[in-house]
Structure 1
């Protein structure tokens, strides 16, 4: 790849200084492919009672749109990218209230559990979107609580088409490595 000229660097810097957040999708895509970014990942868990059996732990997953440039039609845990000057707690609130439709406070706050790092070119923990630092949080909700925009799955029977590094996170949840 050819290096940018000093003039091109100045133009890029001037344009970025004028950008408003959240970035337009094309600019965001270019940004995350070239710079590390922080993703707030949320494992929404609930225990469902089974008649005469041990409770089944379910996880809430949503499906990426078919137009997603990185993971079209794939299942994933809800998440968001940390925005410029945004605190993690605010990003979590935005994710829980807006994207999941969980306006109730009838559950404990989301708890931070583990840092995951995903980089391009690493077979088992690769991110198609570039270098990503994933901050996994767990939100335990009552069994009668519903989320919007996705579906609950048993942790023991997950769909095959999950974003690869989210599969890694769910495997660690199943093994109890992040609880």
Structure 2
């Protein structure tokens, strides 16, 4: 694309007066995600029994797998708000969070040849926050099945199909790694 056409495309987007405070339209979000790293928060949630809460990810961007719930930041948003919005969306409740992340990671998945635009959703800067659920919280999966996107479950150890890109957190997740796999 020549520079005039690119300048015109940028001007069209500026004139659209897109409000990034509530997120971007999906197509624009995907375009941006292929150009710059996206900041996101991930929620490290455990229960009194020491289990780790994971949710199922089953969409076109990642292999079906269990992952730590998370969400991408919006323009002007504080970490606390994104953590709460993510908890509400993925777990159905608000959480109590520690103010400082337990980990900050450069998450580079790279190109995804299964996508029409392979770089989309390929690079994040992820912040992992320790969170606690409200007292008496009970998982509510509704009519979701364990293989469905968004299904939540407690784990004593990381499942074999734990999302590969979240292996950047294995040092933090050491208590949930099977003893025979720690060596």
State the TM-score, normalized to the length of structure 1: 0.72
Classify 1:144/1:168 alpha carbon distance in 2 versus 1 (closer, same or farther; 3 Å). farther
Query: How many residues are aligned here?
Result: 153
Q: Which of 73, 84, 88 matches 1:82?
A: 73
For 2:159, the equivalent position in structure 1 comes to 159
Q: Where does the alignment leave 5 or more consecutive residues of structure 1 unmatched?
A: 49-56, 122-126
Query: Residues 94-173 of structure 1: matches in 2 within 5 Å?
Result: 94-103=85-94, 108-111=96-99, 112-121=101-110, 129-141=121-133, 144-148=136-140, 149-154=151-156, 156=157, 158-169=158-169, 171-173=170-172
For 1:58, the equivalent position in structure 2 comes to 51
Cα distance in 2 between the residues matched to 1:153 and 1:161: 12
Classify 1:162/1:84 alpha carbon distance in 2 versus 1 (closer, same or farther; 3 Å). same
What SS does the aligned partner of 1:34 have? coil
For 1:31, the equivalent position in structure 2 comes to 32
The answer on whether the counterparts of 2:37 and 2:125 sit within 8 Å (CA) in structure 1 is yes
Cα distance in 2 between the residues matched to 1:100 and 1:33: 28
Deviation at 1:20? 4.2
Query: Residues 7-46 of structure 1: matches in 2 within 5 Å?
Result: 7-17=4-14, 18=16, 19-21=18-20, 22-46=23-47
State the TM-score, normalized to the length of structure 2: 0.71
Superposition CA RMSD, Å: 2.7
Deviation at 1:137? 0.4
For 1:53, the equivalent position in structure 2 comes to none
Q: Where does the alignment leave 5 or more consecutive residues of structure 2 unmatched?
A: 111-118, 141-150, 176-183
